[in-house]
């Protein structure tokens, strides 16, 4: 069936499907959603959690204009630990955010030894640490506690495991529904798990 503007019925369906898909993904990265959430937590005095700056050594800078400088060469000073840290309800919070386009698994290659070592040290000191994992194609975000990650990581180090299955993350992790203000409201899950 054709409409007066020449568009076919199927075209209208595809357009609606495309629109709903775009809204579903919202065009945002996990990091942007977390940063917006943390800004909301700070504004409402719920928590103080920030993205950690990555330590960089600047080596070369070009000055194409007097008012502009362009960094042309820089190096990481050291391996970073995790992405975010702060304080919530008098507890230290520390977590890593990871996004994957894979629908069926989360590759453990996305995590580094020094990050897991850091998370183990945080747990040993009584802090709260976890992964926020977004399956971007599915548009689903999960909080995966570090204590559950460690067993998978040990199997990975032994060569037994290269990934964590999506269904395992669904079973052992906690789904975080998208919200308007606190886009990735991970503190609601922290309240249930630790307080």
Strand order in the sheet with 140-145: 48-51, 84-88, 91-100, 128-135, 140-145, 174-175
Binding-site positions read 81, 83, 96, 115
Phi–psi pair at 12, nearest 5 degrees: -65, -40
Phi–psi pair at 128, nearest 5 degrees: -110, 125
Binding-site positions for Mg(2+) read 81, 83, 96, 115
């Amino acid at each position: 069936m054709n409409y007066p503007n020449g568009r076919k019925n199927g075209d209208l369906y595809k357009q609606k499907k495309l629109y709903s898909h775009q809204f579903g993904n919202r065009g945002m990265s996990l990091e942007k959603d977390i940063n917006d959430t943390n800004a909301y937590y700070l504004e409402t005095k719920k928590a103080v959690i920030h993205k950690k700056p990555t330590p960089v050594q600047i080596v070369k800078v070009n000055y194409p204009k007097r008012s502009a400088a362009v960094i042309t060469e820089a190096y990481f000073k050291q391996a970073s630990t995790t992405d975010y840290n702060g304080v919530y309800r008098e507890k230290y919070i520390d977590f890593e955010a990871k996004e994957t386009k894979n629908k069926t698994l989360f590759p453990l290659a996305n995590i580094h030894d020094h990050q897991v070592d850091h998370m183990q040290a945080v747990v040993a000191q009584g802090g709260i640490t976890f992964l926020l994992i977004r399956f971007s194609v599915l548009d689903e975000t999960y909080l995966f506690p570090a204590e559950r990650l460690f067993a998978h990581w040990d199997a990975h180090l032994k060569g037994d495991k290269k990934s964590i299955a999506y269904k395992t993350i669904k079973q052992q992790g906690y789904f975080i529904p998208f919200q308007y203000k606190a886009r990735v409201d991970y503190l609601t899950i922290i309240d249930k798990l630790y307080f």
